[in-house]
Amino acid sequence: MAHTVSDLAALVRERQPCVVLTGAGISTESGVPDFRSPSGIWAKYDPMEYATITAFRRDPVKVWEFYALRFELLTAAEPNPGHLALAELERRGLVTAVVTQNIDGLHTRAGSHAVVEVHGSIRSASCLDCGERVPLEEVIAALRDSPAPPCPQCGAVLKPDVVMFGELLPALAIDRAIELARLAGLLLVVGSSLEVHPVAGLTGETVSAGGALAIVNRGQTPFDRLASVRIDGGAGATLSALAEALA
């Protein structure tokens, strides 16, 4: 049975508090490609060569070439109606927090305050040897002079503060995300294939704690059968219509 935005609006009203979990699909309308769509990043780049901590240690310059391209795209991107609708729903007290897998910082720039970045962000890069943390602007400046930015303290190659495959998620962020999923009356997933763990497991945290799951996504996810409401549609249009329906 195809669900409508008014089904989703009723669920948001009835099953507070509502926590939102977003993936790359909410940022494609800002011009940032996602990962697993046919036109996604992993169709062009092998994640095993560019997105694992082993690949980074083996060839940091190659991984930085990949991230330098992504930094250009990500810093040029602007929040889209999907991000803005979630910020509006937070202002109205209808969304408690956004847990995001995205590293683009667009939720914060859209005006959302309670944002949990479980896969880190491009906002800074850190030194694996001495722990020095360098803000994005300095990293971009350093990338003009060298293909892999050196640590200003000890000279080792900096690593983007994004979670690579084979790395643990930032403990504070994933613990907070699990706490939010457990207290959520509704976990609303937007624009994620829910293929990557442990984040995909947040859906089970909510449902096993008695909460409901809703999914707004183009294409299937492995958790569709757990969803009380599932809308196969664009994030921007659907979230704008949702904010409208809840006005």
**Which residue, 30 or 96, is less far from ligand APR as judged by CB?**
30
Residue placing its CB nearer to ligand APR in the complex, 29 or 88 = 29
Neighbouring C-beta atoms of residue 175, cutoff 10 Å: 12
**What does 161 bind: Zn ion, ligand APR, none (CB cut-off 5 to 8 Å by kind)?**
none
Q: Which does 193 bind (CB under 5 to 8 A by kind): Zn ion, ligand APR, none?
A: ligand APR
Nearest residue to ligand APR by CB is 25
Report the alpha-carbon distance of residue 146 to residue 71 in Å, rounded.
15
- The tokens 């945290």 sit on which residue? 205
The contact set with Zn ion (CB under 5 A) reads: 127, 129-130, 132, 151, 153-154, 156
Nearer to ligand APR, 185 or 234 (CB): 234
Smallest separation, CB 166 to ligand APR (Å): 12
CB of 222 to ligand APR, least distance (A): 11
User: Which residues of this chain interact with ligand APR, rule CB under 6 A?
Assistant: 23-25, 28-29, 34-37, 40, 101, 119, 191-193, 195-196, 217-219, 234-235
**Smaller CB separation from Zn ion, 142 or 213:** 142
Report the nearest approach of ligand APR to the CB of residue 142 (Å): 24
235 binds, among ligand APR, Zn ion, none (CB under 5 to 8 A by kind): ligand APR
State the minimum distance, in angstroms, from the CB of residue 164 to ligand APR.
8
Note every long-range contact of 36-42, with CB atoms under 8 Å and residues 24 or more positions apart, other chains counting: 36/193, 36/195, 37/218, 37/219, 41/70
Active site (annotated) includes residue 3: no
Catalytic residue annotation: 119
